[in-house]
Amino acid sequence: MWALHALALIADSGGPMFRSYVEPTLTLVLQLMFSVPPANVDVHQCLGKCLAALITTIGPELQGADSFTHFLLVQGDHSPG
């Protein structure tokens, strides 16, 4: 949980310098989101903070087709059901 919290803080404070790490971080966050049991509320809250930090880092570029599509595709690949 603390490592995820630290990662979110780094992404928030790094801003544009963190952009090269967005994709591996997003992959990690989504893997953890679907593998950590829902009972671990603290971990899921930290995962949400990491996702928010990634969205803030990408900023207006998220409206571009490639980044937004990547976010949707990665989420779709891991959706339950």
pLDDT by residue for the chain (81 residues), tens only, comes to 899 999 999 998 988 888 889 889 988 988 998 899 989 999 999 998 998 898 888 876 666 556 556 655 555 544 444
| Domain extent listing, the chain | 2-78
Specify the DSSP class assigned to residue 81. -
Q: Encoding tokens for residue 40?
A: 């671990």
What is the three-class DSSP state of 1? coil
> Cβ(12)–Cβ(53) under 8 Å?
yes
pTM above 0.85, yes or no: no
Q: Encoding tokens for residue 42?
A: 């603290």
For position 79, what pLDDT does the model report?
46
